[in-house]
Structure 1
Amino acid sequence: MTVGLTLNATNAPHQIDASVELAREAASAGLSSVWFGQTFGADSPQLAAIVGREVPGLQVGTSAIPVFGRHPLTVASQALTAQAATHGRYHLGLALGTKLLTEGGFGLPFERPVARLREFLSALRQLTETGEADFRGELLTAATPMPVRVPGADSGVPLLVAAMGPQALRASGELADGILPYLAGPRALEQHIVPSLTAAAEAAGRPAPRVVALVPGVVTDDVDSVREAATEQLAFYEQIPSYARVIGLSGARRASDVAVIGDEKAVAAEVRRYRNAGATEVVFSLTEIAGAADRRRTWDLLGDLAKEGASTS
């Protein structure tokens, strides 16, 4: 099992420079991957490409680009460029998106999201593996009158999906390389998410998918105040049906109840629970709400756990 974290430097005076510095700190702590979210700010594949270029050896990823408001041709171009820039260390995450951001931001109807995801993945797989496509679906077309190739991006691009619902898990098992569930605790992973995903992959004759569990977590002695901050920051997700469902399946009431907050011993035990529940990788988020000392404690522990996973794999 590998261990990584999400990086969010949107409050820094210079987001790109700050992201590179944070990634260097993460690598020096022994972490194996860093991931960047995608909203309406920095372009996450570009950011991952820059960071991966500046910090050799570190795996970099996007988690995750919504399929609404994008097209497989442009996303393939971005992903292949990032893959070439990092010499094969880039991982592309896709998401269904949300009704709130799709309709409020792009002015697009949030309709048939899983069908769109299926078509997006089908076209994108062709483009990233061969540089060409002739895909004509119900919802989108992706054809290449000229190739979508980036010399140097020879290893393809791992495709992952922020999937947690039954239909999205089925599509991901059949068409993607893995998933990026967020706010899905060990119970939800073990009892619902991993079995559905694995069954879909097996039925499609595909290899066992990766399960990159994104986990909000901080190592701290000030558990109450950090959890209070987490409750405020994560409340947004409680209004999104897919997240509300998986929070409930995790045996939690609030999103912050899923957060892993405590001292080194407590946090390490929870990370191992994710591993035992079927996570192939654990990626921590939320350390931006911690002070510098707690952030360093968190990263040092995750680095130690990454080494532990490497020694037992």
Structure 2
Amino acid sequence: MRIGVTLSERSGPNALGKLTDDVRRVADDGLDSVWMSNIFGLDALTALAVAGSQVPDVELGTAVVPTYPRHPVTMAQQARTTALALGQNRLTLGIGLSHKVVIEDMFGYDYGRPLRHMDEYLSVLLPLLDGKPASFAGETVKAQVGLTVPNEGRVPVVLAALGPKMLKLAGERADGTALWMTGPATVRDHIVPAITTAAKDAGRPAPRVVCVLPVCVTSDIEGTRARAAEVFKVYGTLPSYRAMMDREGAVGPADLALIGDEDTVRAKIEELDAAGVTDFVAGEFTPGEDAVRTRVFLKSLRA
């Protein structure tokens, strides 16, 4: 199982410089990958192109870029340009639907047919990421276009998929899934069987299962759980994540955070490994000595 980290939000006039330092530190620590969300701060693909072009070797991924605000041609063009800046085989494009409260209430797009939207979106995005022209006319997406970005090879795609139909789509058409707020029992009993069966039935390779969870190695368990409950409380209100918490029997996000000493957190990560996770990605969320202790622990896992 590969070990990666998510990058914390950066702000201020030197945000890209700080991000570059973060990426360099991950590479120097010998971890496998760096993942960046795309919410309301830095644009993830642009930021990774800037930071990653200055740091060799480590894989960079988005977890995830929402699809609705970007036409799939635009998404493919930007992803291929980012891949060109990073060098061959370093970028993994993670995409997802986001949530109704964001896409419909904030952006003003119709969120009424998310599965159809994603299926048709992939019909344009995937050929373009493979270096082929796209020719598709659906109900939600249309495109007749090719791109001339001078890439070698393709850009792989992981799809944020939690429900059965989206997992089936991810297995049939994408390279895997990127998970958030999804515990080991749910990965074992729901995520892995659904996406693996879909990929096998479609004649595709075994999919990646990228599992992102909050992590903190600490002696202050109760204080850190309280911090996790506060930092991640919004995810308990979003229907897709709430469904995963209910499957896991979790009251809230703090119940899914990996918190404790080294042996406790290691046992939880080993449980994810046994459940079928191919890439564990740590969401580091505490400052100070616990942040240092957590990173040392992650390095030990990779070693």
> How many Å separate the matches in 2 of 1:303 and 1:149?
40
> More deviation in 160-169 or 217-226?
217-226
> How many Å separate the matches in 2 of 1:187 and 1:12?
40
> How many Å separate the matches in 2 of 1:298 and 1:84?
33
Q: CA RMSD of the aligned region, Å?
A: 1.3
User: Which residues in structure 2 correspond to 1:63-142 (within 5 Å)?
Assistant: 63-88=63-88, 89-142=90-143
The one-letter code matched in structure 1 to 2:301 is L
> Which residue of 149, 154, 157 maps to 2:155?
157
| Other structure's SS at 2:78 match | helix
> More deviation in 230-239 or 10-19?
10-19
Q: Is 1:230 matched with 2:208?
A: no
> How many Å separate the matches in 2 of 1:302 and 1:162?
24
Answer whether contact 1:35 1:48 (CA < 8 A) is retained.
Answer: no
Identity %: 37
> Which residue of 291, 297, 300 maps to 1:301?
297
List runs of 5+ in structure 1 lacking aligned partners.
308-313
Deviations along 1:231-267, whole A, 9 cap, x unmatched? 0111101111110010111221111100001111111
> How many Å separate the matches in 2 of 1:20 and 1:49?
10
- 1:310 aligns with none
- 2:278 aligns with 280
| Other structure's SS at 2:136 match | strand
- 1:259 aligns with 257
The one-letter code matched in structure 2 to 1:118 is D
Answer whether contact 1:231 1:255 (CA < 8 A) is retained.
Answer: yes
The one-letter code matched in structure 2 to 1:232 is E
> How many Å separate the matches in 1 of 2:231 and 2:9?
15
TM-score, normalised via structure 2 length:
0.96
> How many Å separate the matches in 1 of 2:165 and 2:215?
28
> How many Å separate the matches in 2 of 1:149 and 1:269?
47
> How many Å separate the matches in 2 of 1:194 and 1:212?
11
Deviations along 1:124-182, whole A, 9 cap, x unmatched? 111011241111111101221xx31321x212111001111111101101110000011
The one-letter code matched in structure 1 to 2:154 is G
- 2:41 aligns with 41
- 1:311 aligns with none
Structure 1 residue 13: deviation in Å? 5.2
List runs of 5+ in structure 2 lacking aligned partners.
none
The one-letter code matched in structure 1 to 2:147 is V
Answer whether contact 1:160 1:179 (CA < 8 A) is retained.
Answer: yes
Structure 1 stretches (4+) deviating beyond 3 angstroms?
none
The one-letter code matched in structure 2 to 1:198 is T
| Other structure's SS at 1:180 match | strand
TM-score, normalised via structure 1 length:
0.93
| Other structure's SS at 1:105 match | coil
The one-letter code matched in structure 2 to 1:141 is K
- 2:199 aligns with 201
| Other structure's SS at 1:179 match | strand
Answer whether contact 1:49 1:90 (CA < 8 A) is retained.
Answer: no
Structure 1 residue 12: deviation in Å? 5.3
